[in-house]
Amino acid sequence: MTAPSYPPKPVPGDRIAVISPSSGLPGLLPLPHELGLERLREEFGLEPVEYPATRRMGSTPRERADDIHAAFADPTVRAVIASIGGEDQITVLPLLDRELIRGNPKPFFGYSDNTNLHAFLWNTGPWSFERPTSPEEGARYAAEQRESVLRALKIYAPDTMIVFDVDLGHTDPQVVIPYGGVVRVDGPARRITVTY
């Protein structure tokens, strides 16, 4: 397997696209969105650039695809950040221009429903990072899920190493993971190493 090539990391002063490829919830929830923009500016020294559908609930898949295209095509934008997840990003993917995105690679950061866009980007070329959202499932559900996995592996793959309690996905606390990056799991040492 060839090691992935990493795009340049954003540095202070860089312009960062802020888009809503799944849902325009910043229009309904402006305070957390504004706080995020403020932190990008003040804590990271980045210049966030919003696109037309970023704060628009009910924007069409075409409008959201246009924002994705504009963000990747803009040579002054160094990275693309999704404002939030949602539930219908899958409707945007057929409208995306692979060649435009492949020709303008830059890192993409998103979580939740943005997993669809992460997979699209991984198969297209740009590097992406997924930040999980806060946990939505209760302790009982997690315990039942764990037992189901243990039962299935005992039957179908009894020699498989099992890793539980890693904060990936919809969890709290949260860990940023590189989509398609290198992750090493050392079971006996109980250690996971992620290369960013």
Mean per-residue pLDDT pooled into runs of 10, the chain (196 residues): 63 95 88 93 96 93 95 95 85 91 87 80 65 56 81 89 74 68 83 80
pTM for the whole structure: 0.69
Amino acid 5: pLDDT: 59
- Return the SS3 of 133: coil
Model pLDDT for residues 136-184, shown as the tens digit of each residue: 555 776 788 788 889 888 998 898 888 877 766 666 666 666 667 788 8
Q: Between the CA atoms of 94, 19, 69 and 60, what dihedral angle is there, to the nearest 10 degrees?
A: 50
Amino acid 132: pLDDT: 46
Amino acid 141: pLDDT: 65
Amino acid 78: pLDDT: 94
User: What CA–CA distance (Å, rounded) separates 140 from 9?
Assistant: 40
Amino acid 8: pLDDT: 77
> What backbone phi and psi angles, to 5 degrees, belong to 123?
-80, -10
